[in-house]
């Protein structure tokens, strides 16, 4: 059974859909107050409504995770609305590439790095500051990727960003372990989300072929399977787990 998060405050970025929405709802089901953050305001509010349906409190904020002031305001909103911050799952990401590195436009590279990597730096910076001020520790989970270990073709910027997420996660785990702040990462494989469906459509890929190639189970993962991993890493049940990259990938990296 998922751990109880009664009396805890959780923050989830990229929560307007896909894995982020599933994680936010799972926190609500486990009893946490949930701060829902995404640039897509309408979809973010829809996620907050789903969290409220579980009986938990939720608040949605429109956040540009690549902008420092916006991220600072996001974390402040969690403290103002719910009185603190105990858990954060930083999951906002984009995937835009369809070409090899020499054909990649500079602005596409910059945007991918900003949303996928700079956002992790900014989110952790402000989340950790609050956790240090509170003095009761906390848990942060960053969403990396199987690309952190094994690149896919035409993914130069995305792969670079996800390698960076994993490196930053491990460094933060070392820096803040003594403060009781645990930092870990999840490396999702092929999870059935709008982002994955869009990527397959842009490349003209058959979903059945993709699932067979990227999973030993021959299927896509469900966003709820990522949510359960995130809740475990944020719970006291994983108290001896720090700086870990948890692959939830249908066995893809084992192949």
> Does 1 reside within a domain?
no
Q: Give the pLDDT of residue 2.
A: 62
Measure the CA–CA gap between 68 and 154, rounded to whole angstroms: 29
> Does 116 reside within a domain?
yes
> Does 89 reside within a domain?
yes
Residue 199, both tokens: 């990527």
- Owning domain of residue 168: 9-247
> Does 207 reside within a domain?
yes
Q: Give the pLDDT of residue 195.
A: 87
> Does 255 reside within a domain?
no
What's the CA angle centered on 186, arms 194 and 164, to 5 degrees? 95
- Is the separation of the CB atoms in 200 and 220 below 8 Å? no
Q: Give the pLDDT of residue 198.
A: 85
- Give the phi and the psi of residue 215 in degrees, each rounded to 5: -150, 135
Q: Give the pLDDT of residue 90.
A: 98
- Give the phi and the psi of residue 47 in degrees, each rounded to 5: -65, -45
Residue 98, both tokens: 């369809």
Helix (H, G, I), strand (E, B) or coil at 82: helix
Q: What is the CATH number of the domain that holds 192?
A: 3.40.50.720
> Does 114 reside within a domain?
yes
Which position among 121, 158, 176, 252 bears the catalytic label? 158
Q: Quote the number of domains for the chain.
A: 1
Q: Give the pLDDT of residue 197.
A: 84
> Does 106 reside within a domain?
yes
Helices vs. strands in the chain: H and E counts, helices first = 9, 7
> Does 252 reside within a domain?
no
Q: Give the pLDDT of residue 46.
A: 98
Q: Output the tens digit of pLDDT for each of the chain's 255 residues.
A: 567 999 999 999 999 999 999 999 999 999 999 999 999 999 999 999 999 999 999 999 999 999 999 999 999 999 999 999 999 999 999 988 889 999 999 999 999 999 999 999 999 999 999 999 999 999 999 999 999 999 999 999 999 999 999 999 999 999 999 999 999 999 999 999 888 888 888 888 898 888 889 999 999 999 999 999 999 999 999 999 999 999 999 999 998
- Is the separation of the CB atoms in 25 and 40 below 8 Å? no
Concerning whether 252 is annotated as a catalytic residue, the answer is: no
Measure the CA–CA gap between 210 and 165, rounded to whole angstroms: 24
Measure the CA–CA gap between 15 and 61, rounded to whole angstroms: 10
65 CB-side CA count, 13 A:
31
Q: Give the pLDDT of residue 63.
A: 98
Count of residues making up the chain: 255
């Amino acid at each position: 059974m998922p751990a109880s998060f009664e009396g805890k405050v959780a923050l989830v970025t990229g929560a307007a859909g896909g894995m982020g929405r599933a994680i936010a709802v799972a926190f609500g089901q486990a009893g946490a107050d949930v701060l829902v953050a995404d640039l897509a305001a309408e979809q973010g509010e829809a996620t907050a409504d789903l969290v409220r349906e579980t009986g938990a409190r939720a608040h949605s904020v429109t956040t540009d995770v690549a902008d420092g002031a916006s991220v600072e305001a996001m974390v402040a909103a969690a403290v103002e609305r719910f009185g603190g911050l105990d858990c954060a799952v930083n999951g906002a990401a984009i995937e835009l590439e369809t070409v090899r590195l020499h054909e990649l436009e500079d602005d596409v590279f910059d945007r991918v790095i900003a949303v996928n990597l700079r956002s992790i730096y900014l989110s952790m910076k402000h989340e950790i500051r609050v956790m240090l001020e509170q003095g009761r520790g906390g848990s942060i989970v960053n969403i990396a990727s199987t690309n952190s270990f094994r690149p896919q073709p035409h993914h130069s910027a995305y792969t670079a960003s996800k390698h960076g997420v994993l490196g930053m996660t491990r460094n933060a785990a070392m820096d803040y372990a003594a403060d009781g702040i645990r930092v870990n990462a999840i490396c999702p494989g092929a999870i059935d989300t709008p982002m994955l469906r869009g990527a397959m459509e842009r490349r003209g890929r058959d979903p059945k072929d993709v699932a067979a190639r990227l999973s030993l189970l021959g299927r896509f993962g469900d966003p709820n399977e990522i949510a359960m991993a995130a809740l475990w890493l944020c719970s006291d049940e994983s108290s001896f787990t720090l700086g870990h990259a948890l692959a939830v990938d249908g066995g893809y990296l084992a192949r």
